[in-house]
Structure 1
Amino acid sequence: MIRHLTATALALAPFVTPLSAAAQVATVPPVMIDGTLLDVSATGVSTRTPDIATIRAGVVTQSATAAAALSANADRMAGVLAALKSAGVEARDIQTSTISLQPQYRYTEGQAPAITGYQASNTVSVRFRDIARSGRILDTLVKQGANQIEGPALSIDKADAATDEARVDAVAKARARAELYAKAAGLRVDRIVSIGESGDSFPQPPMPVMMMRAEKASADTAVAAGEQDVKVTIAVRFLLK
């Protein structure tokens, strides 16, 4: 009888052992921390002067037929692109944004809409790496046929160093805040348990929109670069003792 039970137990052993191991892993007790946990959120800031200006320059033309509208649009856009090239804007900084052709309608009560002509538009996105020259180039574009301009949007070309500075600033602010809480509670900061980053923030000022319908603009349109803040927000968990 004893031998039979022993054999049965041995036969079941391979099936029981993995289940027992899994049960042991699932029931591992959490590590107890000797101290008080403090969660702090902080935002680090680094300030830079923008060195990139981006604008959208377009040509809008109207004509009685679709072909004529597109043809006129292509001619004027060729002048705009040539002006950008002459101003020293590199090909990599010019990108077509939209091309559209839309019928224009006349609406009469009691009648179906009637097509009166067509409107063609072609818009390119242009990056200026010399913000000081961007205003003068805008004026040149208008003289060359651009009658729709949006921008500029100012940004930082290489923001990695600024982002790292913001991270260091965020950690310093979090540490200072933790020291303040610890002192108020009669404790001390022992160590950082964890750090989490919620992402980079590159706030852009609102892009003003300029709809230019005249053939000429006033000379030397001013574009002021100003300053921009690069922000990084982190969540830090401290152990206080």
Structure 2
Amino acid sequence: MHNAVLFPLLATGALFCPSVARAGQQAAEKPPRTITVTGEGKVKVRPDTASVSAGVVTEADTARAALDKNTERMLQVMGGLLEAGIAQDDLQTSQFSVSPVYSRPPRNPSGPRVDPKIIGYRVSNTVTAIVRDLERVGSVLDKVVTLGANSVGGPSFFLDEPRPRLDEARKQAVADALRKAELLSAAAGVKLGEILTLREGRGYEPQPEMMRSKAMEMSSSAVPIAAGTQQLRATVTLVIAID
């Protein structure tokens, strides 16, 4: 009699064991509590390099004639860049095109439609130069225009080797994120644990600030140029466990 009662109880207990095990497993797999913070670091730098583009655009009745005119003037422009101290490795053709030039028929809504006709050809050739001495940027621009460039762009200023200064911004970003985490955890009454993930994102932002001393040092005959300053910006996101 006792055995008959005991067996159902054991069977019932066996039915409940898997659910208890699953509950324990779910409790063990419960994700840790975390806090997510983002830090930012900024370092102001003075650019030491510039890029400028110098192009020649010519037109003629035939593509051959337009190309010949363009080549003659472009050789003078490129030669002038080399004479100005630009290294051969710092010169690169960035654009070249040959395209037809079409006539513009007069507008006459009530008259017959007149299709545009090819009346000539246009050749465009552009070279990009890296100027590693910022004192020469203005004189380089002046020289290429004097030698026949009629499509000039830039300058764009940048730091030739930004990694050491960018590392400074990264360190500032991590310190800023940890500072925020300590502040928030103290306010919430929790303790910080280990860093679970660290993700970086960075940006490069121009900062308009005139370099007046540089502008005054330039020759009065050169194109006035102000390189200004720029900011190297780094951001990091930390996910930290909390107790």
Same fold per superposition (TM over 0.5): yes
- Secondary structure of 1:191's counterpart equals strand
Question: What does the per-residue CA deviation read over 1:170-216, in whole Å, with 9 as the maximum and x for residues that have no partner?
Answer: 00000110111012112333332221113x3123579xxxxxxxxxx
Taking the aligned partners of 1:59 and 1:195, their CA distance within structure 2 comes to 49
Trace 1:62-141 onto structure 2 (pairs within 5 A).
Answer: 62-108=59-105, 110-141=113-144
SS in structure 2 of the partner of residue 236 of structure 1: strand
| Rounded Cα–Cα distance in structure 2 between residues aligned with 1:173 and 1:57 | 43
How far apart are the structure 2 equivalents of 1:205 and 1:92?
Answer: 29
1:50 aligns with 2:47: yes
Question: What TM-score results when the alignment is normalised by the length of structure 2?
Answer: 0.77
How many residue pairs get aligned? The number is 201
Instruction: State the 1:219 CA deviation.
Output: 2.6
In 2, Cα distance between equivalents of 1:32 and 1:146: 65
Which residue of structure 1 lines up, in the alignment, with residue 222 of structure 2? 220
Residue pair 2:206, 2:231 contacting (<8 A) in 1 also: no
Instruction: Indicate the residue corresponding to 2:29 in structure 1.
Output: 30
CA distance in 1, matches of 2:240, 2:55: 54
User: Equivalent residue of 1:127, what SS?
Assistant: strand
AA at the equivalent of 1:30: E
Segments ≥4 residues shifted beyond 6 Å: none
How far residue 89 of structure 1 moved from its aligned partner, in angstroms, is 0.2
Shift in Å at residue 103 of structure 1?
A: 1.2
Q: Which amino acid aligns with 2:58?
A: T
- Contact residue 104 and residue 117 of structure 1 kept, 8 A: yes
**SS of residue paired to 1:88:** coil
In structure 2, the CA distance between the partners of 1:229 and 1:61, relative to structure 1 (3 Å rule), is: same
1:99 positional shift: 0.9
* Bigger shift: residues 226-235 or 143-152: 226-235
Q: Could you tell me whether the CA contact under 8 Å between 1:64 and 1:116 is conserved in 2? A: yes
Deviation, 1:108, is 2.2
Cross-structure match for 1:10: none
Distance 1:58 1:111 in 2: 34
Structure 1 counterpart of 2:196: 193
Unaligned 5+ segments in structure 1 are: 1-26, 207-217
- Cα offset for 1:42? 1.6
Distance 1:32 1:58, change over 3 A: closer
CA contact (8 A) 1:154 1:205 kept: no
* Conserved 8 A contact 1:153-1:205: no
Q: For residue 95 of structure 1, report the CA deviation from its aligned partner.
A: 0.4
Identity %: 36
Deviates more, 1:139-148 or 1:125-134: 125-134
Give TM-score scaled by structure 1 length. Answer: 0.77
User: Whole-Å Cα distance in 1 between the matches of residues 29 and 157 of structure 2?
Assistant: 50
How many angstroms apart in 1 are the aligned matches of 2:196 and 2:117?
Answer: 71
Aligned equivalents of 1:92, 1:152: Cα separation in 2: 18
SS at match of 1:219: coil
Look at both structures and tell me which one has the larger radius of gyration over its CA atoms.
Answer: 2
SS at match of 1:202: strand
**Structure 2 CA distance, aligned partners of 1:193 and 1:107?**
66
Once superposed, what is the RMSD of the aligned Cα atoms?
2.1
